[in-house]
Amino acid sequence: MSELSRPAQVAAVVQGREVAEFPELAPEAARGRVRRITVTGEEVLHRRNAEVPEEMLGGSELGGLIDDMFVTMYAAEGVGLAANQVGVDLRLFVYDCPDDEGVRHVGHVVNPVLDERDLDDPVVVEAEGCLSVPGPHADLGRAEHATVRGVDRDGAPVVVGGSGYFARCLQHETDHTLGRVYVDRLSARERKRVLKKMSEMSQDVLARRQERAEQLAEEFSP
């Protein structure tokens, strides 16, 4: 998911647990390498991805992928990124996203399952964007609250929940793992408008990402 604005960060919740201090960028990013972000229309974005198998949990391949996803997300100035957005057919996402109270939420979820929406929970319409739709945003309704369940890279259970902007992020990223890009939820007319805008904006957006990737490489170099 792409960022619109970041409220002041007053605390950090990492993997669903509050921590007293946390660095500006998640430590995983320093170990990763920036990967290319897929763009809507590419096949891996438009089908349900494979479950992360048990034998990958706790392994270096999965850990390295998560590290790469964090630094790729930061290079693209996003707040969430799914594995299929770096071309990997696995149900997994990372996030570093504030909620509407300015609380920062950081972590990853493997094989995420989104709880069903409580019928009393309001649907909020706000602008939403996506790193795989570089540039434009569009108004889209999402539940005000969301809870996602899964496991972490080592297979330990994870439950992550939130409201407002962070809830939107959780819903958006879980959608990715099921093969849905946010533009798939728009009307045909609005989707056409967004994709036209993307074609106009993407070159500048991708140039900014490349510049940011180079800055991060310098920052993390020994």
Give catalytic residue positions: 173
* Rg (alpha carbons) of the chain, rounded to whole number: 16
- Give phi and psi for 71, each to the nearest 5: -70, -35
Residue in this structure with the two tokens 């539940």, named with its chain if needed? 143
Sequence-ordered list of residues with C-beta below 8 angstroms from that of 95, at least 6 positions apart, any chain: 73, 79, 80, 81, 105, 106, 107, 108, 109, 169, 170, 173
Of 222, 204, 121, 131, the closest CA to residue 173 belongs to 131
Q: 10 Å Cβ neighbour count for 96?
A: 28
Residues 197, 8: Cα–Cα separation, whole Å: 30
Of 146, 160, 156, 82, the closest CA to residue 116 belongs to 146
- Give phi and psi for 151, each to the nearest 5: -135, 165
